Amino acid sequence: MDSNSNLHFKMMAFGFKFRDFFSPRKNILKDVGIKPGYHLLDYGCGPGSYILPAADLVGKSGKIYALDIHPLAAQSVQKISSKNRLTNVKTITSDCKTGLPDSSVDVVLLYDTFHALSDPNCVLKELHRVLKPGGILSFSDHHMNEDEIVSKITGSGFFKLSKKGEKVYNFQKK
Ligand SMILES: C[S@@+](CC[C@H](N)C(=O)[O-])C[C@H]1O[C@@H](n2cnc3c(N)ncnc32)[C@H](O)[C@@H]1O
């Protein structure tokens, strides 16, 4: 990644501090249905705004995979994990493939990332592969309207809409 992209990432992280202060991420996750012991993949985790609230929900017996294309994301998530003594968070730097086993994940968070994907079909196929049967793809993207969201995600043939929350859409693996 070049210095421009590092600057862009750092500016995004700075902006998220304000977003997360005024709209705490734990409120976004309350509708998702995350339970203790769950394995959760935060796809396009960015600086890691969802890591602490997700870690609270999955507890010590759960596991969090934080994936982003940008190496600064892994650095930021590792910093959060060590500061908060989280031992169940693993970072992955990738633009699509997760390296996780088939049917191993209960919930995927795909928040404000879909619009930025260069190969969305690759990502949806990969998320479908790693989710357990009936697993949840929790989705938001403020760059897209509801019709676009539902048609793009269900149109892939991999997911059906299971719940429309206040802030996020839950899709279930077909
Ligand atoms: C707007 S940020 C959202 C971060 C986080 N999900 C949130 O809502 O706080 C979008 C993130 O998607 C990442 N991203 C873009 N394309 C990606 C890809 N193909 N695979 C993984 N991450 C990607 C970017 O690096 C960026 O960190």
Q: Compute, in angstroms, the gap from residue 113 CA to the centroid of ligand 1.
A: 5
pLDDT of 28? 97
- Whether 66 and 74 have beta carbons less than 8 Å apart is answered as yes
Cβ 126 under 6 angstroms from ligand 1: no
Cβ 113 under 6 angstroms from ligand 1: yes
- Whether 50 and 29 have beta carbons less than 8 Å apart is answered as yes
pLDDT of 2? 79
Q: What is the pairing mode between strands 39-43 and 63-68?
A: parallel
CATH classification at residue 21: 3.40.50.150
Environment class of 76 (CB within 10 Å of its CB; exposed 0-12, middle 13-18, buried 19+)? buried
List average pLDDT for each run of 10 residues in the chain, which is 174 residues long.
89 98 97 97 98 98 98 98 98 98 98 98 98 98 96 97 94 98
Domain count, the chain: 1
Ligand 1 mutation target, pool 8, 113, 121, 144, most atoms within 8 A of CB:
113
Positive or negative torsion for Cα 33, 62, 66, 93: negative
For residue 66, list its beta bridge partners: 42, 91
Cα separation of 19 and 47, whole Å? Answer: 13
pLDDT of 15? 98
Q: Compute, in angstroms, the gap from residue 162 CA to the centroid of ligand 1.
A: 24
12 phi and psi, to 5 degrees?
A: -60, -45
Range of the domain at 72: 3-173
pLDDT of 3? 80
pLDDT of 31? 87
Q: Compute, in angstroms, the gap from residue 46 CA to the centroid of ligand 1.
A: 5
Instruction: Please tell me the pTM assigned to this model.
Output: 0.98
For residue 107, list its beta bridge partners: 40, 136
- Whether 50 and 57 have beta carbons less than 8 Å apart is answered as no
Cβ 70 under 6 angstroms from ligand 1: yes
Question: Smallest Cα–Cα separation from 129: which of 151, 159, 153, 90?
Answer: 159
